[in-house]
Amino acid sequence: MSSLESNGLQIEDLQVSYSNGEPVLGKLNLSLPEFGIYTVLGPSGSGKSTLLRAIAGLLPGYGGKLLFNGRTVHDQHTLVGLVPQNYGLLPWKTVHDNIDIALKIARPGEADKAAREAQIERWLTAMGIAGLSGRYPLSLSGGQQQRVAIARAFAIQPAILLLDEPFSALDAMTREGLQRLFLAGWQEHPATALFVTHDVEEAILLGQRILVMPAGKAGTAEAPELLDNSAVFGMPYEDKRDSAEFMERSRTIRRMMQERWQ
Ligand code: ADP
Can you give the pLDDT at residue 2? 43
Q: Given CA atoms 67, 73, 79, 80 in this order, what sign does their dihedral have?
A: positive
- Those residues with Cβ within 8 angstroms of residue 129's Cβ, 6 or more apart along the chain or in another chain: 95, 144, 147, 148, 151
- pLDDT lower than 50: segments of the chain: 1-4, 218-219
Alpha helices in 112-217 (DSSP H): 113-126, 142-155, 172-188, 200-206
Pocket of ligand 1, candidates 20, 39, 41, 49: which has the most ligand atoms within 8 Å of its Cβ, to mutate? 49
| Amino acid 216: pLDDT | 62
Establish whether residue 18 lines the binding site of ligand 1, counting it when its CB lies within 6 angstroms of any ligand atom: yes
Q: How far apart are CA 142 and CA 148, in angstroms?
A: 10
> Does the CB atom of residue 48 touch ligand 1 within 6 A?
yes
DSSP 20-33: T--EEEEEEEEEE-
Question: Is residue 237 within 6 Å of ligand 1 at its C-beta?
Answer: no
The tens digit of pLDDT for each residue in 96-149 reads 999 999 999 888 877 788 989 999 999 999 889 999 999 999 999 999 999 999
Non-local CB neighbours of 157 within 8 Å, separated by 6+ positions: 79, 119, 189, 191
At residue 59, φ and ψ (nearest 5 deg) are -105, 145
Rounded to the nearest 5°, which phi and psi values hold at 36? Answer: -135, 160
| Ligand 1 centroid from CA 182, angstroms | 26
231 Cα: distance to centroid of ligand 1 (angstroms): 33
Measured from the CA of 20, which atom of ligand 1 is nearest?
25
pTM listed for this prediction: 0.92
List the end-to-end C-alpha distance of the chain, in Å, as a whole number. Answer: 38
Laid out side by side, the sheet with 209-212 consists of 80-83, 160-164, 192-196, 37-41, 209-212, 225-228
The ligand 1 atom at the shortest distance from the C-alpha of residue 42 is: 3
Helices 172-188, 113-126: crossing angle, 10 deg rounding: 140
The candidate with the shortest Cα–Cα distance to 81, out of 170, 198, 182, 171, is 182
pLDDT for residue 6? 64
C-alpha separations of 193 from 25, 140, 183, 221, 236 in Å:
20, 26, 11, 25, 19
